[in-house]
Amino acid sequence: MTDETKGSTVPRRQLGRMLTQLRQDAGYSLDRAAGELECSRQKVWRIEKGMVPVRTPDIRIICAMYRVSPEMRDVLVGLARETRAKGWWHSYGDSIPAWFSLYVGLEAVASSLRYYNADLIPGLLQTHEYTTGLFLRNRPELDEAERAKAVAVRLQRQGLLTRRLPPAPDLAVVLSEAVLRRPVLDRSVMAGQLRHLLDVLELRNVSVRVLPLSAGPPLASEAGSFVILDFPPMPGGGAAEPTTVYIEGLTGALYLDKPPEVAAYEHVWAGLEAVALDEGESKKMIKAIIGECYG
C-alpha cells in the first residue's frame, strides 16, 4: 500500500487490531506483554491502536510470544512492512504532530466525513487567508517558514475533495451560525471565506448546513467539535475499517471506534441534522451574513 493517498494508516490499524486479538487470545495483559517485550506499556498500547509503524523483527518476536501460527505470522509481517510506507504528509516533518498524522491518513482513505464545528470553519473548507489568520492568532510562536508549512499542509489536504481516483469522499458539514459571524483577522478575510463556502457548495460531494442560533443549544454542545469518518470496503473484499470518531485537543486526539462510542456520536449527528437549516436555507443565511457583517 504505497499509494500516497493511502499511506500507512490503514495497515497500521489493521495490524493493531489483529495484535490486540492475538494478545487477548494468548491470555496476555498489556502489562505482561510489555514486560516480556522489555518495553513500556504505552508502546504496546500505541502499536495496538495503530498509532506507530512496527518493525518486522518486532512482529516476529511478538508472534513467538503469542505462539502464532507461521501462516498468521506471515500475514502480520506483510502488514508490518506496509506500515512503513509514507504518505505525502510525512514530507512536512514536525509541521504535523504524530497524533494528527494518523488522522490525515484516515481522512485520505475515508469514503465520507461528517464534521460538526461550533467555533471554526473546517480545515478542508478554509481559504489560504483564513488559515493564515488562524495561525497568526493562535500560534504566534511559529516563524514565517513554519507557519507557511503548516498552512500548506492544511491546503494540500483539500485536494481530496476534488480528486478523481480514488473517488473523492462525501463531506457533510454542520456549522454553528456563530462560526460565520466570528471574524478572523479582518472583515475582508472573513468575507472571502464565506464566499469560498458558497463556491465549495457547488461540488456535488460537499454539503454545508448551518445550525442557527435560534435553534438553541444542541446535544452537540456537550460533545464538542468532532468528525465521523466512514470507510469503503477494502480491496479484495476484506473487512472495511470501522467507522471512527475523531476528537481533537490541544496536545492530542481521541480516535473512537467501539460501536457504543460511535453510536453515541451518530445520535448527536442525527440531532444536528434535525435542527440545522437545509442546504438552500443555509446558502441564504451565508449570503445574508456576508451582506450584513462583511459587505
Let me know: does 149 contact 155? Beta carbons within 8 Å: no
pTM of the model: 0.79
Return the pLDDT at 91.
66
166 cis-preceded (ω within 30 degrees of 0): yes
Q: How far is CA 249 from each of CA 124, 148, 201, 253, rounded to the nearest angstrom?
A: 18, 22, 28, 5
Closest CA relative to residue 256, chosen from 245, 240, 272: 245
Place of cell 485536494: 159
Determine the Cα–Cα distance for residues 250 and 267; give it in Å rounded to an integer.
Answer: 25
Task: Write the DSSP assignment of 236-273 as a string of letters.
Answer: GGPPPPPPEEEEE-SS-EEEE-SHHHHHHHHHHHHHHH
Q: Rounded CA gap, 284 and 262, in Å?
A: 32
Look at residues 63, 49, 88, 66 and name the one whose alpha carbon lies nearest to residue 255: 49
- Low-confidence stretches of the chain (pLDDT < 50) are 1-7
- Whether the Cβ atoms of residue 142 and residue 153 lie closer than 8 Å to each other: no
Compute the C-alpha angle 35/39/40, nearest 5°.
90
Return phi, psi of residue 19, to 5°: -65, -35
Residue written as cell 489493521? 14
In tens, the pLDDT along 92-126 reads 666 677 678 778 888 988 999 999 998 999 999 99
Distance of alpha carbon 52 from alpha carbon 290, whole angstroms: 44
Instruction: Please state, as a whole number, how many other Cβ atoms lie within 10 Å of the Cβ of residue 79.
Output: 23
What is the predicted pLDDT for the residue at 238? 57
Torsion over CA of 134, 138, 143 and 144, rounded to 10 degrees?
Answer: 10
Question: What pLDDT score does 167 carry?
Answer: 92
Question: What is the C-alpha to C-alpha distance for residues 93 and 173, in angstroms, rounded to an integer?
Answer: 29
How far is the C-alpha of 142 from the C-alpha of 140, rounded, in Å?
5
- How are strands ordered across the β-sheet holding 170-176? 206-211, 170-176, 112-117, 226-230, 244-248, 253-256
Yes or no: say if 73 and 63 are a contact pair by the CB < 8 Å rule: yes
CA angle in degrees (0–180, nearest 5) for 227-9-261: 40
Report all structural domains of the chain as residue ranges with CATH numbers, in order of start.
9-82 (1.10.260.40), 88-293 (3.30.870)
